[in-house]
Chains A and B, each alone.
Chain A
Amino acid sequence: MSTPTMTPGAGAGAGAGADPGTTTETKPRQRKLSEIPGVELEVVRPSSPRPALITLGLTAASAVALVVLGLNPALALAAAFIAYLIAVYAVYRRASGPRVAADQVVRGLVGGAFVIAVIPLLSLLWTVVSKGAATAFDPGFLTQTMNGVTGLQDQATQRDGAPMVGGAYHAILGTLIITGIAAVISVPIGLFTAIYLVEYQPKGRLASMIRFLVDVMTGIPSIVAGLFAFALWAVLFGVGTKNGAAGAVALAVLMIPTVVRNSEEMLRIVPNELREASLALGVPQWRTIAKVVLPTAVSGLASGVTLAIARVIGETAPLLVAVGYARGLNVDPTSGPMNTLAVYAYYMFTKPLSPGFREPSLDRAWAAALLLVIIVVLLNLVARLIARAFAPKTSR
């Protein structure tokens, strides 16, 4: 009777320590390794995961904790999460041993880390939208400046329900002008530096030194860039000169390293065959760069520049230091303080026009914040769309 060795699943294990004489008579259709005497299995994979059951139980438990214990929501959520991890550990340890249990707990922790990061983001976005939406799209807010607006009008608004006066028109224009000048300064410098690093001096000590300096520049704190612009203007035009151009210089200092790094990466992925083909046809190097390399990389370059703009458009500290704060409209970046959305939000938030009646000022601050967030998110989306829509066709 040689049938027992042929039973599927028992083959390898049975040879090790099973007693074929007894098992074949009583259990001819034995299939599981674990049923063979003498074979001890340490199960690594979960035999039957029960996450659905666990989650259900814990949702109920957290709901109970929330309602019965009267905890605040954050605490209840944290407690429920810890209870969830303990339950996962217990269940999987019983089913599949400590190693699988640890694996499942880590799985929960890693997901939890993501949730921890998302909670502040959602809370922040919700706060900005809920507090700012009412004012941000008000035509008056978008077309008026703060010229002549005083605490008395804010008192009237909050106490008597008078319509809110004053807006962020000057700040919106100021943001666009200063960021625009910063982009005009930093895009050519950044782009040509990247061309130098990739096309003219790809190797060598000079290139590595420039790369090192770009790294150093990336680490300049934004307020130090503002102080630099202030100090430069103090030396050139006299101490205390604050104007939009100084702010643009400060932003350019912050923007150049981002443009260089993004552009360098994009130029580097242009295939060398394209350059060689063009040079082999006798095209001068500068025309090769201008007509072959740059057009191939244009989507990446545009998206990199957009991201660099998005990075600096919300900067507050350098503009606070170098541009100052203007209540009225000033579109001339060479004369006197201007206003920008970020600085506007900061001043409205921390120095309300009327300390006793803060609401209108806070509304303005949140409205400006909402406009900023919308601009930044739009720029990020645009950058992604550019990168995707005009991506070079890499297929052969």
Chain B
Amino acid sequence: MTTSPTTSSPKVRRRPGDVVFGGLSAASAFSILLILAGVALFLLVEAAPVLSADSSDISGGEGFLSYVAPLVFGTLLASIIAMVVATPVAVGIALFVSHYVPRRIGTSVGFVIDLLAAVPSVVFGMWGFQVLAPRLVPLYDWLEANVGFLPFFESASATGRTILTASLVLAVMILPIITAVSREVFLQTPRLHEEAALALGATKWEMIRTTVLPFGKPGVIGGTMLGLGRALGETMAVAIILSPGVFTLNLINSGNNTVPAEIALNFPEAAGLRLSELIAAGLVLFGITLGVNLAARYIVNRRAEFSGAN
């Protein structure tokens, strides 16, 4: 026996503790699968009446697609504006933290940015409604007066409760996640690349432009898409700030609505087919965010495989 320990090892008796503990772990891991399947399944079950319903019974009277399409466009519009506004600022902060301040100050700066992520969305909504929106009214008036020939700035709102205000608040809300992901990849830039650039006489900005930014590009793109995914699903800020209406390209007056805000605003009073409609809209939102998030994860993870090289 003792001379051939390898042959005896397969016969080791599995102790009951191990069976129970291992079983619990495996069951938990599988419950993730069950929960996700449950999310899709139960939403489908509750949304099913919409599919069989007569199209004239759906809100708007022209079927589910024409009901949900403007909402989807509104969601995409608000989220993409937020993404465009937030990305340059987030990249700037990430560079500031990773390359411009000492490491110790950098972590406290990171904490300040994380605080932004911790503030509940309903508080962002109240702030946007009461503080930001009135302050943006002069800007909207100016936009109407000076670039009013563009379809985006046709007539200004008197309250500031517009899709653009909502987008700006969304931009503040998604700043932390884009910053965090960008900061991580910027810090992973191989030190040798940076030092080589500096040794060739590059200024700091030239060093960043030639080594840090090319290295971090996939991470920034992935972080931006994670931010987009968050903006797509963000509910309360839009629900409180925006004064909703039909889809319009005009950014500085009431109008437009997003899928999550539409659900939050109408769900408490909904019943019957309307409930199914809203749940079906939620299913559509789930599909969109799923696609965006998977693409983002794919890009970020592809970078993670390379980053071991430094």
Which positions in A face B, CB cutoff 8 Å?
44, 72, 74, 99-100, 102-103, 106-107, 109-114, 116-118, 120-121, 123-124, 127-128, 188-193, 195-197, 199-201, 206, 210, 213-225, 227-228, 230-232, 234-235, 239-240, 253, 256, 260, 284-287, 289-290, 310-311, 313-317, 320-321, 324-325, 342, 345-346, 349-350, 365-366, 369, 372-373, 376-377, 380, 384
Contacts and interface: CB of A to CB of B under 8 A. Distances in A.
A245 to B, nearest CB: 15
A246 to B, nearest CB: 12
A117 B116 contact: yes
B45 to A, nearest CB: 6
Contacts of A260: 32
Which of B22, B29, B115, B131 has the most chain A CB within a 10 Å cutoff? B29
A154 to B, nearest CB: 18
A325 B112 CA distance: 33
Interface string B250-294: 000000000010011001100100010011001101100110111
Contacts, number: 267
A228 B138 contact: no
Given A197-B29, A317-B235, A372-B120, 6 more contacts: A109-B92, A113-B88, A195-B25, A231-B45, A349-B122, A369-B126
10 contacts: A113-B88, A124-B131, A219-B233, A228-B42, A314-B123, A316-B236, A317-B236, A317-B260, A349-B125, A376-B120
Nearest to A219: B293
Contacts of B115: 121, 377, 380
Contact of B263 (A100, A201, A227): A227
A324 B235 contact: no
A197 B30 CA distance: 11
A314 B122 CA distance: 8
Contacts of A377: 115, 118
A189 B205 CA distance: 47
B17 A284 contact: yes
Contact of A366 (B35, B126, B278, B293): B126
A284 B203 contact: no
Interface in B1-60: 15, 17-18, 20-22, 24-29, 31-33, 35-36, 38-39, 42-43, 45-46
Nearest to B127: A124
Interface in B87-111: 88-93, 95-96, 100, 109, 111
Nearest to B136: A74
Contacts of B263: 223, 227, 317, 321
Contacts of B20: 286
A221 B33 contact: no
Given A195-B25, A232-B42, A320-B264, A99 B32 contact: no
Contacts of A109: 92
Given A106-B205, A107-B100, A320 B116 contact: no
A124 B38 contact: no
B15 A256 contact: no
Nearest to A384: B111
B131 to A, nearest CB: 5
A111 B229 CA distance: 27
Contact of A112 (B36, B92, B118): B92
Contacts of B138: 72
Contacts of A228: 38-39, 42-43
B232 interface: yes
B122 A345 contact: yes
A42 to B, nearest CB: 9
B297 A232 contact: no
A201 B26 CA distance: 9
B122 A342 contact: yes
B308 interface: no
Interface string B184-220: 0000000000000000010111101000000000000
Nearest to A344: B122
A221 B230 CA distance: 7
B33 A110 contact: no
A296 to B, nearest CB: 17
